[in-house]
Chains A and B, each alone.
Chain A
């Protein structure tokens, strides 16, 4: 969704975000990012709900001059997720929904194995690298938006992402 569509064009305030629209366009992305970073679905749900509530309460503080609404929202989500990480005392455990391999149909079995391989590779990444992957491929943010969220330059985002993708590919034993 375009930024112009997300930002409310002056109903109450020139820069006040249209929260309803932002929520609808970002709910699943926010959850995906939180789950990708935290690797805990229950915690990701908590973080997603808390982040949206925090964003709702702070919506009048959004300033379009300082970045896009999505970058602003993901900044809030990131803080909530990092607070959650801090609370859990570095124990970010993977708790994805267990899948019985036998129940998976034969044509999908390869795909399922590939998924498991990818999950394992993601788990080996550092949290900072996993965060970049989550922002890029789970949340669908551009490099510029990621740069705003993480607080580094867009070119640095690109470099780190490339390096992270190489790591992932190596960790997947050449499956990609």
Chain B
């Protein structure tokens, strides 16, 4: 099994061949799916936990304090301790809640984000499902998360949860439009919805540089809209503690609450990785045309590290403006989308189409 860190295709192919040679085809495919499922599950859990830790450290840094520093070196095991605590918490049984939907809602939210991770290219060859409608698939499945939120609010049988869930649902559905339109702008530039093709096309320059003005506008709109999609940052009215309605996850306790919490961080991760893939080149290193020595150094860093690095920068930006800005009110939030972002997006799509037709991109 050749393990080339720059091109994991050979590694995955060799596992594939080994399985096919040992097992009948059906069982080989099933085993592959199992391996991928477990790998993504492990990735999901670990990244989710450590994003929470990262948020706490970043927040502390912005607020002129230290953050967790007791449990483990630099507080590294703080989230593990929190997870163990949540596992032991009593699952408060709500008599008047709709039992099936109440228990189902966290799972739907997790499944939606899980499905989306499957389609993202982590490195060359490390791509679970390479659909030819990649972007479309990712947007579509991440929208199904809103079902989980509405179910949570409805089945809690609590008027404040319902109000919070409806607000959250309205917010997510509105900002879907902006997310979709800004990604469509980049699809126009790339000519394909397949995520691996999009990344390959950025080998000689990331789309944000290739598509100059409309790509930059698209990136900024995507950043704002996806923060609102994931109920984060200045758009977290639906779950803010200092507002009146306590949000759709009031009645959840223990591990079920942990699912919502984890799903929120993983949604942030997914959105950041889509931004990194579509705008910043995915696992492609930074190449500046003509500087051969520079490009050679950049090539030295493995693609997986590039991918994680870019995603981390986008996540840092999202955390930065969560901890700086005050919250928007729900009507201001919706008017931002419908009156400002949507028109900007539509004009931007036209602009990008015009530039592609004219050949004025790099």
A binds B: no
Point out residues on B near A: beta carbons under 8 Å: none
- A interface vs B, CB < 8 Å? none
